[in-house]
Amino acid sequence: MKLNLLKKTAYFVAIAITVTALAACGGDKAKDKEQNTEVTTEEESSGGGKINPNVTPMVSKAPEAADADNLKDVFAERFSMGVAVNSWQLADSNTLDFITKHYTSITMENEMKPDYILDQEASASAEDGMPVLKLDAVDNIMKMAEDAGLKMRGHTLIWHSQTPGWLFRVDYDEDGDYVDRETMLARMESYIKKVLTFCNEEHPGLVYAWDVCNETMNDSQYSGHRTDSPWYITIGEDYIEKAFEFARKYADKDTKLFLNDYGITYGEKCKAIYEVATGLYEKGLLDGIGMQSHHDMENFNPDNLEAAIYKYAQLDGLEIQLTELDLHNNDNSSDSMQKQAELYKQLFDVIVKLDAEEMANVTNVTFWGLNDSTTWLTGFRKETSYPLLFDAGNNPKPCYYSVIESVKEYQ
C-alpha cells in the first residue's frame, strides 16, 4: 500500500509538536515501558505447555460467546488478526474452533524457535559440518494449521535467546570456542535455507511472514546492537543484514520478512530500529517492522505508540504489525477490567485511525496468548496476569468489546 502523501503531510503538521516532544519515536521510557518479550525457560513461559495455576483453564470447553462478533470479521477491512498458540491448543478441537472463529493466523509461541528444531548430536556428526534440523513436530503443526485454514507467522529464525549455545561453538560443543565468522555465516545460511526450503516445499503458501531477526537492539545505547548476542560475537554487526539476505534468497517470493523487537515505541531504541530498518528496506531486504507490544497498564502511553508507528511509516509502504500484543493487568476486579478496556481502546484507536486514514500500513495484530489462563506473563512477572481479551473460559472481557468499538467507528 502506498500511503496518501497529502494526508501524510497534513498529519505530520498535526502531530509535529507531539512527535518533537516525544523525541520522534516516543518519549520518556519510564512512562511507556514495554517489557522484555519472551523468556528462555519453559518454567517461566507458557510455551512449554504450562498453564497459569492461579486461573482455572477451560480450554476443552466449548466457547461461551457463540454470538459474539468474530474478531477476524470485524477487522477484515483493516488488518488481519492473529494469536500465539502451542501445539496442544491446535490439537484440542474446541480450542481450535475458538481459534478459527476469531483469527486468521497463528504464531507458534515456542515450537518454531531454534531451540526446538536443532539437533545437536546429528549436527556434530554431520559430514558437511552444517546444522541438522528435526522438523517432524513442526511438520505436524503446519499440517494442523493447513487443515484448519489458518495462515502462520514464522517465529523466529535468528534470536540471541532460545537458540542453543552449542550452535556457535567448535564441533557444536557447548564448551568449545566460538567458531570464526565464515563458519558461522555458513551455519546461519544453512539453517535459514533448511527452514525456509522445508516450508516452501512441504507447506507452500502457509507461512505468510517470518520474523527473520528478533530482539537485535540494545535497550539503552543508541549504537543499537545487542553486542552480547552470540550472533553479534561470532559474525559482527552485519549479522542482521546477512540474515535478511539469506532469508530473501530462500523465502517464497510472497513471504514477508520482518524485523521484530520490543520496547520500540520510545527513545534511542526506536531510533536505532528505524536506522537499521531504513538500511534493510532501501536494499529490498525488509518488508515490515514487528512491534511486539507487551504493554503494562501503569505505563502504556498511546501518544508514544502513535508517534513511533508514524515514524516507521515514513518508509513508504513498509508493513507494520503488532506481533505479540498483551496488556499486563494483575487485578481482575471490575474497576481494573474497565480500565484495561479503556487502555485497549486507546491502543486500537491509534492503529485503526492510522491505517484507516492511510497514515500507516498496519497489516496484522497478533495477541500473545489465547486467553488469561495461558499467558506467559504470569510466569515472567511472578504474579497472576490478566492481559488478554478473553478470560480462562474463553469468555470475552470488557476489553474485547472496547477493541470492537474502535474499528466500528471507521466502518
What is the distance between the alpha carbons of residues 312 and 5, in angstroms, rounded to a whole number? 15
What is the distance between the alpha carbons of residues 329 and 384, in angstroms, rounded to a whole number? 8
- Residue 174, all three cell numbers: 557447548
What is the distance between the alpha carbons of residues 157 and 195, in angstroms, rounded to a whole number? 8
Q: Judge whether 77 counts as a catalytic residue.
A: no
In degrees and rounded to multiples of 5, residue 107 shows phi and psi of -120, 130
Of these residues, 109, 189, 268, 324, which one is catalytic?
A: 324
- Residue 141, all three cell numbers: 503443526
**In contact, 209 and 288? CB cutoff 8 Å:** yes
In degrees and rounded to multiples of 5, residue 367 shows phi and psi of -85, 140
Of these residues, 109, 111, 215, 245, which one is catalytic?
A: 215
Q: Judge whether 237 counts as a catalytic residue.
A: no
Comparing CA positions, the residue from 187, 276, 282, 296 lying closest to residue 226 is 276
**In contact, 114 and 162? CB cutoff 8 Å:** yes
| DSSP 3-state percent helix, strand, coil across the chain (nearest 5) | 45, 15, 40
What is the distance between the alpha carbons of residues 80 and 58, in angstroms, rounded to a whole number? 26
Active-site residues: which are they? 215, 324
